[in-house]
Every structure is written in C-alpha cells, then in structure tokens.
Amino acid sequence: MASLGDQAVLQAIFNPNTPFGDVLGLDPEVELTDDDSRFDPVLVDQAKDLELQGISLAESGNVDAALETFSQAIRIVPERASGYNNRAQALRLKGDTTEALNDLNKAVELSGGQGRTASQALVQRGLIYRLNQQDQEALQDFRQAAGLGNRFARSQTTLMNPYAALCNRMLTKMMADLRNPKPPPSPSV
C-alpha cells in the first residue's frame, strides 16, 4: 500500500478541493474501512490491484486507460463500491460530471452510505452538486460524509451555513485583530 505521503499526493490529484495532506479528509480518530468480507477475497485483491493501476495511469495523464482499468475492476466485482468511486474520479478529470454522478450514486448505493468509499463518494458528489448550484443536495451529502468523520465535509457544511459562516468570519477577524493589534491613535495637540 502507498505511504501516507503518497496517499496525500493521490488525494490532491483525485480530489483537488480537499486540503493537501488531508488523506481522505477523514478524522484520524475515526477508523473508516469498507466491508469487503461479503466478496471473494481473491476477486477483491484483483480489483484492488486494477484500481491501483488505474490510479497510476490517471496520475501519468492517461485518463482513458485509467477509465478502462477501473471498468475492468468493476467487472470483476460489480457490487463493490470502490471501483465506481475511483472511476468517478477519473471521469471528473475528463470533465464528464454526468457520468461521474452516475458512478457516485452507484458507489453510495452499494456502500450503503457507510465506510471509506461512501465518505469519498459523498464528498465528490457534494462537490459536483455545488458546481451545479444544487446546494441543498450538496449540503445533504456533506452532512452525511461529516457524520462518517470526514473533516473536509464538516468544513463544507460549515461554509454552507450562512450563520456559521458569518460567525466564522467575525471570529477570524477578532483573532487577527488580537494577533496584530492596531496602534492607538496619536494624541492631537
């Protein structure tokens, strides 16, 4: 498996709107995994290997080959959510948000809205909804992903709440004023 640094780079590539270094955007105290126990472990390993190949292909700029590789992984274990989530990321790189949404919907459905893949898929789908100005749908996905421990989703939920955003701006200004106080006005003579 890739190191945390490698995972952070992949995260930045596949989810450019997440903070760099925030691998998966997950709270480090929340252990999120996908339950692959219902699938043949040999087939899961084959699918995972193909997904890693797809990520490498996408990293090298060969998005079309990555898409085909992710599709192969899906054909091996069609009821596993991860392949759909990864293919959606590649589709986003190609600018095909319609097909990406279809794959993200399938990933959320297959994951039952639970686990690492659900968290990633919900955030990706929420970002597409925001792009399409479907803020209620985006907020719903971000809230669900935040409930899974996704810090990025939590921050998006806060940003989308107008009252919280106003409080955040006021608090940020107050903290900046405390850190960099303005000198008192000069006395006039």
Structure token pair of residue 127 = 């970002």
Cα–Cα distance measured from residue 106 to residue 98, given in angstroms and rounded to the nearest whole number: 13
Confidence of residue 33 (pLDDT cuts 50, 70, 90): confident
Is the pTM higher than 0.85? The answer reads no
Lowest mean pLDDT among 2-11, 91-100, 110-119: 2-11
Selection from 30-34, 112-116, 159-163, 173-177 with the highest mean pLDDT: 112-116
- pLDDT tens, residue by residue, 80-108: 999 999 999 999 999 999 999 999 999 99
Mean pLDDT of the chain, nearest integer? 85
Dihedral sign, Cα of residue 62, residue 67, residue 73, residue 75: negative
Quick: pLDDT tens for 123-162: 999 999 999 999 999 999 999 999 999 999 998 988 887 7
Ordered by start, the domain boundaries in the chain are 4-179
Domain 4-179 has CATH 1.25.40.10: yes
List b or e across 33-51, with b for residues whose CB sees 16 or more CB atoms inside 10 angstroms.
Answer: ebebeeeeeeebeebbebb
